[in-house]
Every structure is written in structure tokens, then in C-alpha cells.
Structure 1
């Protein structure tokens, strides 16, 4: 029932996640942040089983931070994605697998922006845009239609709004609010909560 989305531009990545924490049919929280800061320029977005998401994401987060403390420099987004994938794959083959779906977005001074899609079976793919959750079935076609490699920040925000409006119109559940953030060479920046216009019937 959760939703993650990522859009990569020429010098940034825009990511967004819904803020609902639910158990079965009950909404437990409406301001839950599903983004975990790995480093100054890397974000991990995580959805799945409620306990698994926080435990796995924090485990990866602390290990990435430990790497920086030991070596004096941060992992690149590519290295962080492969480290995350390896851990997820190892746990998948243990008695305690984590049922989590992930997006990893980051910016590297040498390689530029990067967006990685990862599912609970530890399949990893670098993508120009990606989405997780039931909402992905409704919005991947919109991303495919309107995405272009040189997309500007303003166009990316408009594309994100298009996707969220489609969710609001088509998805049976009402995801009321989203966190959105830009990642670029300056670091991680908040995007103001994106207002959703009332859908005409």
C-alpha cells in the first residue's frame, strides 16, 4: 500500500515517499519518514514489512557511516547500492530474510547523480526513474511517457505532481501526504509538501 518514486536528472535526483505507516487496515501514523540518510549525499528509501524496513535500513545506515569513520571518506552511491544489495541477498538466504523494497538515490562528485532500484529478492538495477508499491503500476507509464534525460528540476516536480494526481484519482487508498527531496552536489534538500489539487469527478 506504500509508494516510493525517484526521478534522475542531469545533475540531481528527485525522490518522494508517502508518509503513512499502516498495520493491516489501520493507519498508525501519518507523518512517518521512509527516507534514511546514508551520508551527506545518499538517501535510502525503504518500504515493506514494518519491522523489517527500519531494522534493515538502520543497519545499512550505521555500516555506511562506520565505513566513513574507518576510512575517512564516504561510499559512492554505486558502492552503497552494491553493499546494500549484498546484505539483502545474504539475509535472503538465511532464516531471517528482510522483506523490503528499496530505492537508493545519491550524488557522487565524479560519477554524478545515480538512482538504484532494488526489490526484496535483492535484484539491483540502475534506472533513470523508478517506483515501488501498488502505485508503481499506475505511474510507471506516466514516467515512461514524460521522462527525458535532460529533464529540469521544475519539469521533474511537475512530473512528480502528475504521478501523485494519478494516484489520487485511480488508487483506491488515499495517500494524503508525501515527503519529497532533491539530492545534488550541495547535498540533500527538502521540497515543500507538494499540494494535491482536488480531483474533479
Structure 2
């Protein structure tokens, strides 16, 4: 059985002091370009973010539900929710919907104690990693990441590498393109910016 996954490319990288997420902005469905300005990187809490590839509606509903659940959990525990807990919340939500899955591939991560990222498939498997790529351009992005990632990178190096890997994917994947959204999360907080291709 093959599942139709709309195109996109998103990456996540850990560095010495936090995590960086990057994704391109194009939404294509078949050979039709639907949008050139779609956001696929999201801040979930002050210390946790996500980059997602897949169906936009599924992506948006997942982010809304997880943001709400994380807020409730934070009020219950009276402390920041670590990335592994948010990854588990996402996993549970996606697994509950396994017969009508959310057609998304997710990279979620952040920094509470130390930087961490996790990859989730549409059924909710949680795989920890130091860097990851999802979507139709993932192979091209991983080609760059595998070669150039090193543990303990500085923020600028990791950000530049994330942008470079998305650029590589957009050169060969017709479903990816139209600019790059970047989200950087450190203990000090989050910053977001957009890069042109």
C-alpha cells in the first residue's frame, strides 16, 4: 500500500546550546503548485518547536492540539515540559488516529535540560536523533547533513547547515521551494526568520 504524501522538506538539527528547524514554503499537490508561503515550522512552547512535512490541514490541527495539551500539562506540573514529553504527546495523538492517520511526518525537539530532537511518522513512532529530515526532499537534505553535521556545533554553524540542506533539497525536489523558514530554540528563547532561496 502506498500512501500519497504531499511534497515538502523539513530538517531539524541539535547544536551545543539548542536546536534549529528549517523548512521550505511550497505546497504542491501532484503537479499543481498550491501555495508559495506556507509555514511548516512552529513553536509549540517556549522551549520546544517542530518542523513538519505532509498535508497542511493535518499539520495545523496537530500543532493546535499539541500547543493546547502542552499548556494544560505545564499548568498541572508548574514547570516547562521537556521535548521528549511533547514528542510522546504527539505520538499518542497520532497513534490514536492510526486507522485514519494524520498524513504528516514530524520532527519535534527543543531544549529543557539538553538539546534533543525526535522524528515521528504518521502512526506515531518516536525516534530520537541528533539531526533529521522529513518529506519528499529528505534524501537530498540528508545527503548534506550526513556529510557536514558534527556533534557540539555552534548555533551559526547549525543554522547555516540547516539552510544549506533545505537549499540542496529544493534544487532537486520539485515539491520543495519558494523560501526557507528557520526556527532556532535555545534556553534563552526562540527566534524565527525567513531566508530567500
TM over 0.5: yes
C-alpha contact (below 8 Å) 2:9/2:24 kept by paired residues: yes
Structure 1 residues 99-136: Cα deviation after superposition (integer angstroms, max 9, x where no partner): 2110102110xx21111111113221111110011211
Structure 1 residues 36-55: Cα deviation after superposition (integer angstroms, max 9, x where no partner): 32211111222222322211
Could you tell me how far apart the structure 1 residues matched to 2:63 and 2:144 are? 29
Residue 157 of structure 2 corresponds to residue 155 of structure 1: yes
C-alpha contact (below 8 Å) 2:50/2:108 kept by paired residues: yes
Mean Cα deviation higher: 59-68 or 158-167: 158-167
* Superposition deviation, residue 142 in structure 1: 1.6
1:67 to 54, 73, 76: 73
SS of aligned partner of 1:74: coil
* Superposition deviation, residue 173 in structure 1: 4.4
What residue number does 1:128 align with? 130
Residue 40 of structure 2 corresponds to residue 39 of structure 1: no
C-alpha contact (below 8 Å) 2:137/2:170 kept by paired residues: no
User: How many corresponding residue pairs?
Assistant: 191
Compared CA separation, residues 67 and 152, structure 1 to 2 (3 A)? same
* Superposition deviation, residue 172 in structure 1: 3.4
What residue number does 1:181 align with? 183
Could you tell me how far apart the structure 1 residues matched to 2:145 and 2:79 are? 34
Compared CA separation, residues 151 and 49, structure 1 to 2 (3 A)? same
What 5-or-longer segments of structure 1 have no aligned partner? 197-201
Residue 19 of structure 2 corresponds to residue 19 of structure 1: no
Instruction: Flag the structure with larger Rg.
Output: 1
Could you tell me how far apart the structure 1 residues matched to 2:41 and 2:172 are? 25
Could you tell me how far apart the structure 1 residues matched to 2:104 and 2:168 are? 25
* Superposition deviation, residue 174 in structure 1: 5.3
Compared CA separation, residues 169 and 31, structure 1 to 2 (3 A)? closer
What 5-or-longer segments of structure 2 have no aligned partner? 1-6
Structure 1 residues 123-172: Cα deviation after superposition (integer angstroms, max 9, x where no partner): 21111110011211112122111111021222223322432332243333
* Higher RCO, 1 vs 2 (CA within 8 Å, ≥6 residues apart): 2
What residue number does 2:110 align with? 106
What residue number does 2:63 align with? 57
